[in-house]
Structure 1
């Protein structure tokens, strides 16, 4: 199904953009750390270096999380079809369409909004292992699964 391939590619682009943004932030923090020169104001240099190191550490944690997302997405086969909801499934409900992959939020493909959710997310865990025609309740809303691709 072509739409699943496009959703998969949108998730890849989401992760790639996240990784690129984090990489730039790490480089900027490293540059700021090495560019600051010692001044007569005492330990300003060491304070700036420490702040930049903390920024690098925070961004490194975010980078590792983004790389984990990339690994999780790599396990999904976008061309696989199943009657039972599993990672990689596109689920059409009466209250929205969900792509079980990674938590990437709302993705707009050909003018239609789809929600990319992980199987570990609250709604993703509700969807897992259900079939067309199944219903469930989430956040005081009733959901009916119209299609599983």
Structure 2
């Protein structure tokens, strides 16, 4: 699989922006639901329904904040240029058949060429390979495997 790190970053940024837009739409719908509930209800049922919507709103607000933070962090890591001889933040590595970008904890990102996993530098796998050089070994999927530092 031929992967371009900049294209991966662009796809990840696009993915996070889409997710943020969906969350903002959800926030808008919940806010409108709270206003509608305010106009049409009274009594205990009203209080329960409003509280549930308020909790949903808090949860969505938290997700928006979390995803905004991920996007900011992704932009910061994307600005790190150059390929080092050792694995660091922003490195693209291959272990077995799997590809990893050490950036933010986004998980599996589908690409036209296949899939890549975006993992946090503090994840257990990233911690194993940070600071190591191309061809060194890492314990992955229960086996000791060499990894390839791609970019």
The answer, yes or no, to whether TM exceeds 0.5 is yes
1:94: how far off? 2.3
Residue 7 of structure 2: aligned partner:
6
**Residues 37-116 of structure 1 aligned to structure 2 (within 5 Å):** 37-39=40-42, 42-76=43-77, 77=79, 79-116=81-118
1:20 aligns with 2:52: no
CA distance in 2, matches of 1:104, 1:62: 13
Deviant stretches of 4+, over 6 Å:
none
1:138: how far off? 3.3
Q: Which runs of 5+ in 2 are unaligned?
A: none
Are the equivalent residues in 2 in contact too, given 1:30–1:56 (CA < 8 A)? Answer: yes
- CA RMSD, 1 decimal: 2.0
CA distance in 2, matches of 1:81, 1:135: 19
1:53: how far off? 0.7
TM-score, reference length from structure 1: 0.87
CA distance in 1, matches of 2:144, 2:15: 30
1:2: how far off? 7.0
Which secondary structure state, in structure 2, belongs to the residue aligned with residue 99 of structure 1?
Answer: strand
1:66: how far off? 0.7
Query: What is the aligned residue count?
Result: 147
1:144: how far off? 0.8
Residue 133 of structure 1: aligned partner:
135
1:68: how far off? 1.2
Residue 146 of structure 2: aligned partner:
144
